[in-house]
């Protein structure tokens, strides 16, 4: 943690300490050293704070402000540590400037500037641990489920199947949503924690079967279950994170889960060059994914049930997870609206994401290694910025305006990507990833917020079924439309996403 040089303030120690207590909300430390502790409002771990040490210096006071504490976030402390260090430096500077304002009459300091990547409001220790653990689970299933799309071309060549059969197999994997419909409904009856752990464990098993599959039929069946793991864990983890997030940080929680899913996707891109090692090189990434089952005990030991769900289970008069309660209640029109949006957007999104690598290799002459480089450049940074900025914009301006505007831009830029090559293709892909990430955060938050705790798993499971129907329709249409290659077919399907926006 950073250690700053002491600052001289022209006021006695007692006056400086009183100013810290009254204007910074400082509390005396418990170590008996006479220091003061100030808790920054936006760090993801309340154990992190600013320590003020006041020592006499003639008629004035030397004040040392330093960031103290240890980050206790499971799995992702490495991500938050540099962000917290930046927030700590800003908080130290603000604390000293505030004391100068009160004790010396200096100009009042502006509030510390927010750090992109940290929440706007503080998380409790249990809330932070649940969000981080749920994010780890999402990263694992995101990695496993993205492998088919990344490796579609070498998988098709290995099994000797045509493009139409391969796209049909990709579409069939969406049947995993039928399995997820039951598992997500069970999350309303049996709890969020149990279903998340089931998804993570089954993901490793499905990856192992996929990597050893002797033909496309066995591989496709395994991928149906792989996709079910993604739907189950992604939906239930998203519900758990939003339920446990403090007010004003729900979109942030959703963005962190999406960022974790992007991390899993990025790992699949990093391993893509392994497909160039031989005819069966695509099996190696599936073996790596199978090993993630070894992380299940660590996730289980850190994942707790959400407090909202526990509270609902104690109320016996509430019916949990009943479809009738969703369709016949006041939530029916909300469900229909979100279902229509999900279907139309996925008609375009599914072939756009699943067949992008095939488009790059077949129509733009990329190798698998070149595809990995392209995806790294156009996905990593734009996706990160889109998730973080999208979450903040959704909290500030509302979910709907962010979703509509971002979805429009994302669709148009992605349509252009599938129509033109050259440098324009790189720019359009990055812009589409950035804006689609922001749109996904806004829409994903709505999916959970518009339904009560006892119906969130069921409603999101049914919405997933509708989304999968759209995905299947899009993949089949992309392979069936009479165009030379998939690029123009996918671009044409973008019209459905524009209608949804």
pLDDT tens, position by position, 253-274:
888 888 898 889 889 888 988 8
The per-residue pLDDT for 157 is 87
The per-residue pLDDT for 176 is 84
The per-residue pLDDT for 454 is 63
Q: Once rounded to an integer, what is the mean pLDDT over residues 148-161?
A: 86
Q: How many CB atoms lie within 10 A of CB 407?
A: 23
Scored b (16 or more CB within 10 A) or e, 90-112 reads bbbbbbbbbbbebbeeeeeeeeb
Measure the CA–CA gap between 352 and 392, rounded to whole angstroms. Answer: 26
Burial, 350: exposed, middle or buried (Cβ in 10 Å; 0-12, 13-18, 19+)?
buried
1 pLDDT higher than 50? no
The per-residue pLDDT for 46 is 53
The per-residue pLDDT for 300 is 94
Is the torsion defined by CA of 120, 254, 406, 380 positive or negative? Answer: positive
Nearest CA-CA partner of 68 in 154, 4, 160, 144: 4
Measure the CA–CA gap between 16 and 21, rounded to whole angstroms. Answer: 9
The per-residue pLDDT for 225 is 94
The per-residue pLDDT for 3 is 55
Q: Is 35 left (phi over 0), alpha (psi -120 to 50) or beta?
A: beta
Among residues of the chain, what percentage have pLDDT more than 90?
Answer: 22
pLDDT tens, position by position, 61-108:
898 888 887 778 899 988 888 888 888 888 889 889 999 999 988 999
Q: How many CB atoms lie within 10 A of CB 420?
A: 13
pLDDT band at 327 (very low <50, low <70, confident <90, very high): low
Q: How far is CA 406 from CA 71, 235, 376, 400, in A?
A: 34, 22, 22, 10
The per-residue pLDDT for 40 is 67
Instruction: State phi, psi for 250 to the nearest 5 degrees.
Output: -70, -45
The per-residue pLDDT for 163 is 74
**Contact yes or no for 159/282 (Cβ under 8 A):** no
CA 356 to chain centre: 21
pLDDT band at 134 (very low <50, low <70, confident <90, very high): very high
The per-residue pLDDT for 32 is 61
For helices 456-480 and 487-500, angle between their N-to-C axes, nearest 10 degrees: 140
The per-residue pLDDT for 166 is 83
The number of residues making up the chain comes to 501
pLDDT band at 299 (very low <50, low <70, confident <90, very high): very high
The per-residue pLDDT for 23 is 87
**The CATH number of domain 125-500, selected from 3.90.226.10, 3.40.50.1820, 3.40.50.2300, 1.20.1250.20:** 1.20.1250.20
2 pLDDT higher than 70? no
Delimiting residues of CATH 3.30.530.20 domain(s) in the chain: 7-104
Strand 36-38 to strand 27-28: parallel, antiparallel, or no bridges (unpaired)? Answer: antiparallel
Nearest CA-CA partner of 207 in 280, 145, 269: 145
User: Mean pLDDT for the chain?
Assistant: 84
pLDDT tens, position by position, 418-451:
988 888 989 999 999 899 888 888 887 776 677 7
- Residue, of 481 and 94, whose pLDDT is higher: 94
Measure the CA–CA gap between 11 and 135, rounded to whole angstroms. Answer: 48
362 pLDDT higher than 90? no
The answer to whether the pTM exceeds 0.75 is no
Domain 7-104 in this protein, CATH class: alpha beta
Two tokens, residue 255:
């963005």
Delimiting residues of CATH 1.20.1250.20 domain(s) in the chain: 125-500
Two tokens, residue 460:
């999101």
306 pLDDT higher than 70? yes
- Residue, of 290 and 248, whose pLDDT is higher: 290
pLDDT tens, position by position, 24-67:
888 887 766 668 888 765 555 555 788 888 888 888 889 888 88
Measure the CA–CA gap between 247 and 122, rounded to whole angstroms. Answer: 10
The per-residue pLDDT for 7 is 87
Largest CA distance in the chain: 86
Two tokens, residue 4:
């700053």
Is the torsion defined by CA of 163, 165, 168, 169 positive or negative? Answer: negative
The per-residue pLDDT for 326 is 60
pLDDT tens, position by position, 366-415:
887 888 788 888 887 888 788 778 877 887 788 888 888 888 999 999 99
């Amino acid at each position: 943690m950073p250690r700053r040089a002491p600052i001289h303030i022209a006021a006695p120690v007692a006056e400086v300490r009183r100013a810290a207590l009254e204007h910074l909300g400082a509390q005396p430390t418990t170590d008996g050293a006479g220091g003061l502790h100030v808790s920054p409002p936006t760090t993801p771990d309340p154990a992190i704070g600013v320590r003020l040490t006041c020592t006499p210096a003639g008629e004035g006071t030397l004040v040392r402000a330093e960031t103290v504490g240890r980050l206790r976030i499971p799995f992702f402390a490495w991500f938050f540590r540099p962000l917290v260090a930046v927030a700590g430096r800003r908080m130290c500077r603000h604390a000293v400037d505030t004391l100068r304002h009160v004790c010396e009459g200096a100009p009042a300091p502006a509030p510390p500037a927010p750090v992109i990547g940290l929440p706007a409001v503080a998380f409790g220790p249990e809330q932070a641990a649940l969000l981080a653990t749920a994010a780890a689970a999402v990263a694992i299933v995101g990695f496993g489920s993205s492998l088919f799309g990344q490796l579609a071309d070498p998988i098709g060549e290995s099994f000797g199947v045509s493009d139409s059969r391969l796209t049909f197999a990709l579409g069939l994997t969406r049947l995993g949503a039928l399995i997820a419909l039951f598992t997500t409904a069970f999350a309303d009856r049996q709890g969020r924690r149990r279903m998340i752990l089931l998804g993570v464990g089954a993901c490793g098993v499905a990856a192992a079967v996929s990597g050893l599959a002797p033909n496309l039929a066995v591989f496709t069946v395994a991928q149906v279950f792989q996709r079910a793991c993604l739907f189950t864990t992604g939906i239930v983890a998203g519900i758990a994170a939003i339920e446990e997030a403090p007010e004003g940080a729900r979109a942030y929680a959703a963005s962190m889960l999406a960022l974790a899913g992007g991390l899993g996707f990025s790992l699949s891109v990093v391993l893509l060059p392994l497909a160039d090692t031989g005819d069966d090189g695509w099996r190696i990434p599936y073996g790596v994914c199978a090993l993630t089952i070894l992380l299940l005990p660590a996730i289980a030991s850190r994942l707790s049930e959400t407090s909202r769900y526990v509270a609902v289970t104690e109320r016996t008069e509430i019916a949990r997870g009943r479809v009738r309660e969703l369709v016949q209640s006041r939530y029916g029109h909300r469900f229909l609206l979100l279902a229509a949006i999900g279907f139309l957007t996925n008609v375009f999104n599914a072939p756009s994401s699943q067949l992008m690598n095939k488009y790059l290799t077949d129509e733009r002459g990329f190798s698998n290694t070149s595809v990995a480089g392209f995806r790294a450049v156009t996905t990593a940074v734009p996706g990160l910025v889109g998730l973080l900025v999208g979450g903040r914009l959704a909290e500030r301006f509302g979910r709907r305006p962010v979703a509509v505007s971002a979805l429009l831009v994302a669709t148009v830029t992605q349509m252009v990507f599938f129509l033109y090559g050259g440098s324009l293709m790189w720019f359009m892909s990055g812009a589409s990833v950035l804006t689609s990430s922001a749109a996904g955060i806004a829409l994903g938050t709505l999916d959970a917020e518009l339904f009560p705790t006892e119906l969130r798993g069921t409603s999101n499971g049914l919405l997933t079924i509708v989304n999968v129907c759209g995905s299947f329709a899009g993949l089949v249409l992309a392979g069936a439309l009479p165009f030379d290659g998939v690029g123009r077919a996918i671009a044409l399907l973008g019209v459905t996403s524009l209608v949804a926006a």
